[in-house]
Structure 1
Amino acid sequence: MVKFLVFGGGGKVAQHLARIGVKEGHEIHSVIRNDGHKEELEKVGAKVHISSLETATVPDITSLISSVHPEVVVFAAGAGGNPPGPEVIDYKGAVKVFDALEASNTKRLVLIGAVDVRTREKGWPDWYDEKDKDTSDRVWKAIPAYLEAKLKAEIELHTRKQIQYTVLRPGNLTLEPAGGVELGKTHLKATSRELVAKTILAVATERGTEGLTIDVMDGDGSISEEVAKVVKNKTDAWTG
């Protein structure tokens, strides 16, 4: 049994995580900004905490983490295009959580990133084909503020040597049931939200994923086999 504290607990990925995690015997603490999803989360067995990343201070978040004392913190929060916006939640909110992790001496973090988050001035990743490049251009044109906020959060995370992080980067998120998966350096495709939740649970409980940034796409493999592949061959993951 693992105790999880999930920021962004009202999101669709986090709701799948709560439902599946509790069924697997884990203890899930879901942090939501208001009581809008409280009832449905409690129905599946999650323990709910109300705290907004927009207004909470680092001491507030530190106190919450210290009171729960989780083995794994999950950052699944995301503003998307909604107020208060990705700069406030996806970047500044994430940095608050990083600060609070260090202040509470909590090590393990799984952060949900986004597809194709990278410093584009460095050029294309060598495994991208023409379809990937077209997808990348379209995504960056459609949601630049979101991707820039995610990128800044990851760059900041790389400076935090006390935090044992794993970053998962799903593709275009869908409502489809979880099927097979492809992890690592993949082509840019769609990803089931339920699959992301299952992958969070897998990497959080598997040693060797610390320090890795892993693309998560719908595919044909099993989660256990794909996680083992990435752990064994770390060149299949982004490491910086």
Structure 2
Amino acid sequence: MVKFIIIGGGGKVAQYFTKQAVEEGHEVHSVIRNDGHSDELKKIGAKIHILSLEDASVPDFTSLFTEVNPDVVVFAAGAGGKEPGPDVIDYQGAVKIFDAMESSNKKRLILVGAVDVRTRDKGWPDWYNDEDKSTSDRVWKAIPTYLDAKLKAEIELHKRKQIQFTVVRPGGLTLDSAGQVQLGKTHLKQTSRELVGKVILAIATRKGLEGLTIDVMDGEGSIEDELTNVVDNEIDAWTG
């Protein structure tokens, strides 16, 4: 049994993850900003903690981590185009969690990022085709503040030597049922939210994926086979 704390527990990816984890016998502590999702989370077996990434302090999260003593922290929070915005939630909120993990000596983190988060002045990733480049330009033009906040969070995370992280970067999120998957260096496509939840759980319960940044797309492989491929080839999609 693995004990999880998931930040941003009310989101759809987080709820899929929570349901799957509880069904497999794990314990999930879901952190949400208010009680709006409490009933639905309790129905799927989550233990609820109300703390706002915007308003709570690092000591608040440190106290929570010390009290719950999780094996794995999952950061799945996102502003979603709403106030207070991605810089406050996706960047500053993530940094609060990094600080609280270090203060409470919690090491294992899975961070849900976004595909194509990168320092663009370094040029294109070498596996991108023309369609990927067109998609990248379009998405960065549409949601630059969000992607920039995700990038800053990842850059900061790479400085935290105490934290054993894996970054999961889904593509364009859909409400489709989970199917097969492609992991690692992928093209810019769509990803089922349910599938992302399954991938997070698989990563959290498997050794050898620490320090990797893994793109997640709908594909044609099984999660276990694709993770084995990532480990065997030491695929790291980090392009910061």
Normalised by the size of structure 2, how large is the TM-score? 0.99
Aligned partner of residue 168 in structure 2, secondary structure: strand
Partner of 1:114: 114
For residues 220 and 162 of structure 2, the distance between their equivalents in structure 1, rounded to whole angstroms, comes to 35
Deviation at 1:81, TM superposition (A): 1.1
Partners of 1:136 and 1:239 in 2: how far apart? 14
Q: Shift of residue 236 of structure 1?
A: 5.2
Instruction: Name the SS of the counterpart of 2:91 in structure 1.
Output: helix
SS at match of 1:215: strand
Amino acid at match of 2:224: S
Q: 1:222, 1:15 → 2: CA distance?
A: 21
State whether structure 2 residue 175 is matched by structure 1 residue 175: yes
Residue 237 (structure 1) shift: 3.7
Structure 2 unaligned regions, length at least 5 = none
Q: State the shift of 1:232 in Å.
A: 1.2
1:75 equivalent in structure 2: 75
Superposed CA deviations along residues 216-235 of structure 1, whole A, max 9, x for unmatched, are 00001000110111011113
Q: Quote the residue 2:101 is aligned against.
A: 101
Whether the aligned pair in 1 keeps the contact of 2:118 and 2:239 (CA below 8 Å) is no
Residues 54-73 of structure 1 aligned to structure 2 (within 5 Å):
54-73=54-73
Shift of 1:32: 0.3
RMSD between aligned residues: 0.9
Percent sequence identity over aligned pairs: 73
Contact 1:212–1:239 (Cα < 8 Å) also in 2: no
For structure 1, list consecutive stretches of 5 or more residues without a partner in the other structure. none
Which residue matches 2:231? 231
Q: Deviations over 1:168-222 (max 9, x none)?
A: 0000000001000000000000000000000000111111100000000000100
Give matches, 1:155-194, under 5 Å: 155-194=155-194
In structure 2, the residue matched to 1:217 is 217
Q: How many Å separate the matches in 2 of 1:103 and 1:64?
A: 11
Q: In 1, are the aligned partners of 2:213 and 2:236 still within 8 Å (CA)? A: no
SS of the counterpart of 2:235? helix
The equivalent residue for 2:208 is: 208
- Structure 1, residues 3-25: CA drift from partner, whole Å, max 9, x if none? 00000000000000111110011
Q: Distance in 1 between matches of 2:143 and 2:71?
A: 33
State whether structure 2 residue 19 is matched by structure 1 residue 28: no
Deviation of the 1:152 alpha carbon: 0.1
For the Cα contact (< 8 Å) 1:167–1:214, is it kept in 2?
yes
- Matched residues in 1 for 2:125 and 2:218: separation? 20
User: 1:239 deviation in Å?
Assistant: 7.3
Q: Is the CA contact 2:212–2:236 (under 8 Å) kept in the aligned structure 1?
A: no
1:32·1:50 contact (CA, 8 Å) conserved in 2?
yes
TM-superposition CA deviations, 1:47-73 (whole Å, max 9, x none)? 010000000000000001111100000
> How many residues align structurally?
240
- Deviation sequence 1:55-110 (CA, Å, 0-9, x none): 00000000011111000000000002100000000000000000000000000000
Displacement of 1:130 in angstroms is 0.2
Give the AA of the match of 2:42.
E
Q: Which moved more, 1:228-237 or 1:106-115?
A: 228-237
Structure 2 letter corresponding to 1:36: G
Aligned counterparts of 1:186 and 1:87: Cα–Cα separation in 2: 26
Contact 2:119–2:239 (CA under 8 A) maintained in structure 1: no
CA distance in 1, matches of 2:239, 2:137: 23
CA distance in 1, matches of 2:141, 2:237: 25
Q: Distance in 1 between matches of 2:138 and 2:104?
A: 40
> 2:142 aligned with 1:134, yes or no?
no
8 Å contact 2:71–2:108 — kept in the other structure? yes
